[in-house]
Copies of this chain bind each other. A is one copy, B any other.
Amino acid sequence: MAREQFRFSHPLRVRWAEADMQGVVFNAHYLLYFDVGITEYWRALADGDPQRLREIFNHLYVVKSTVEYRAPAHFDDELEVCVRTERIGRSSLTVQFEIHRGSEHLISGENVYVHAHEGASSPVPGAFRELLREFEIVKPQE
């Protein structure tokens, strides 16, 4: 997917502790970067309302992750974490991520989040669904 297809991105500087003996970011940390990205994405959606942000957080759980490592990031690199809701299901969201360093596309990935309430999956609330639709051009799907 082209960089331009992401409406949202968040800048992030690679920390010393995140690079390994080969001088590259340890693979698990990209999932951490995705998490930093989705937090900021949801903050943008919640329009700075911490109560609304907390509600989003409290009901979404990752059920599947995929990461493709195309090229490594290094210590001190300035990265952009791109985030995009690809699909809104009845009780789940599929979110795509890309990590770029300038014009280089380093990492691709996807998280599937399930909306849950007291341990059981529950429909994505209408208001949140609307927020997402307004923010993205997404294909709703039942």
Contacts and interface: CB of A to CB of B under 8 A. Distances in A.
A23 interface: yes
A94 interface: no
A21 B28 contact: no
A66 B63 CA distance: 11
Interface stretch (A67-75, A79-87, A98-106, A120-128): A67-75
B75 A21 contact: yes
Chain A interface residue count: which class? Answer: 20 to 34
A23 B21 CA distance: 5
B63 A68 contact: yes
Contacts of A67: 31, 64-66
Contact of A15 (B19, B35, B63): B35
A20 interface: yes
Contacts of A76: 39, 50, 53
Contact of A69 (B28, B35, B62, B75): B62
19 contacts: A15-B32, A15-B35, A15-B36, A16-B20, A16-B21, A16-B36, A17-B28, A19-B21, A26-B35, A28-B31, A28-B32, A28-B35, A31-B67, A61-B69, A63-B69, A65-B65, A65-B66, A65-B67, A65-B69
Given A17-B35, A53-B76, A64-B69, 12 more contacts: A16-B20, A16-B36, A26-B32, A27-B31, A27-B35, A27-B65, A28-B28, A50-B76, A61-B69, A62-B69, A64-B68, A65-B69
